[in-house]
Copies of this chain bind each other. A is one copy, B any other.
Amino acid sequence: MHPTTPQVTELVERTRQLVETTVLPLERSSDGDIERAGGDVVRLELQEAARQAGVFAPHAPVEYGGHGLGMVDRAPVFEAAGYSVFGPLALNIAAPDEGNVHLLQEIATAEQRERYLAPLARGEVRSAFAMTEPSPGAGSDPTMLATRAQRDGDDWVIDGDKRFITGADGAGFFIVMARTSPGDSGATMFLVPGDAPGLSVGRHITTMDKSMVGGHCEVSFRGVRVPGDAVLGEVDRGFANAQVRLGPARMTHVMRWLGAARQAHDCALGYVAERQAFGSRLGDLGLAQQLIADSEIDLAATRALLLTACAALDRGERASHETSIAKTFGAEAICRVVDRAMQLAGGTGVSDDLPIARLYREVRPFRVYDGPSEVHRWSIARRALRRHQAPA
């Protein structure tokens, strides 16, 4: 796909084999539902298999047993893992853990890294990022943050409700965003153990996607007390520091889901290469070719935008514009690719006889997760306009 090191090429190939031989069969037998497949038990088995295959934790620092890949190098490996919706679990690169590893690596103290990052990178615990809230709190608009943390001596006491917290059920720890000052920017991130008194994980909000261990949960914080060294980054710098996580996390989402789109596309190609109608193979009919070509274009454009943004991140740029663009285009393109695959496979495509319908349910939420396309477009437009703004 693009020039890369032999190390990456080998990781991609080994990941591909692991996915094909070990991960995909499990995805198929459980209809892609991680709970039905066995949840955390299966996660640990898959991670052991990935360790055996030498592909575990491609993103994590070498000191914690990872391969230490940069963003550009992650792209093909994550895509190969994401070909199966359980692949990222196997490599320990599923959301939200993968993004949390990145965040902790960037801004945690040495002590925090030892306590939280090390076991997370090794797959010993899972984690969650507790940001979004029920209405009228922070949904797409982070400035509406309602969860509060108040100082009490050297401690902080956290109160509030979170919603749609991915991986919450069974998480070893949470990174919690809470308001510590009034105004748009006065937020702080805290590291909170999963068994902290006052923290309770409520119901799972069931969604179209089924591949994430620990679900998307409601979580409440009632007088949750944490010590001063639970602050991740600096007080009142929570939003700014979270940006460290956001850009790369968006890109790894695209990488993974791009793999899933490719599974659907391959499946459809296999179907139309064999099925006959109207005097030829389906794949030789012009109206099918239109769908195939459009999906090839969408896959290529997603990958090209992804690499452009990853290269900027690897150069140390914040790359908000590039990651917003790659995420917005990618999420929509990926949905289109899976949708076209479904159309190409006709009645079989909308049935459970093929994985396509399931993959569609899995990728559709991506146009909402990590910022809906509309919110990204709004940011993209404002940045573009700022370049041309008339001086006052």
Contacts and interface: CB of A to CB of B under 8 A. Distances in A.
Question: Copies per complex?
Answer: 4
A385 B205 contact: no
Contacts of A364: 342, 350, 360
A15 interface: no
A297 B377 CA distance: 9
Interface stretch (A89-97, A219-227, A282-290): A282-290
Interface string A284-311: 1111111111101100110111011001
Given A140-B277, A269-B388, A382-B289, A350 B208 contact: yes
Contacts of A389: 273
A274 interface: yes
Contact of A378 (B164, B287, B351): B287
Interface string A194-209: 0000000000011111
A37 B91 CA distance: 40
A380 B289 CA distance: 8
A297 B309 CA distance: 12
Interface in A342-392: 342-343, 346-347, 349-353, 357, 360-361, 364-365, 367-369, 372-374, 376-378, 380-385, 387-390
Contacts of A289: 286-287, 377-378, 381-382, 385
Given A276-B136, A300-B325, A388-B273, A287 B377 contact: yes
A84 B139 CA distance: 29
B207 A357 contact: yes
B294 A377 contact: yes
A256 B238 CA distance: 44
A376 B289 CA distance: 11
Contacts of A383: 296
Given A311-B3, A353-B205, A144 B343 contact: no
Contact of A278 (B141, B277, B329, B376): B141
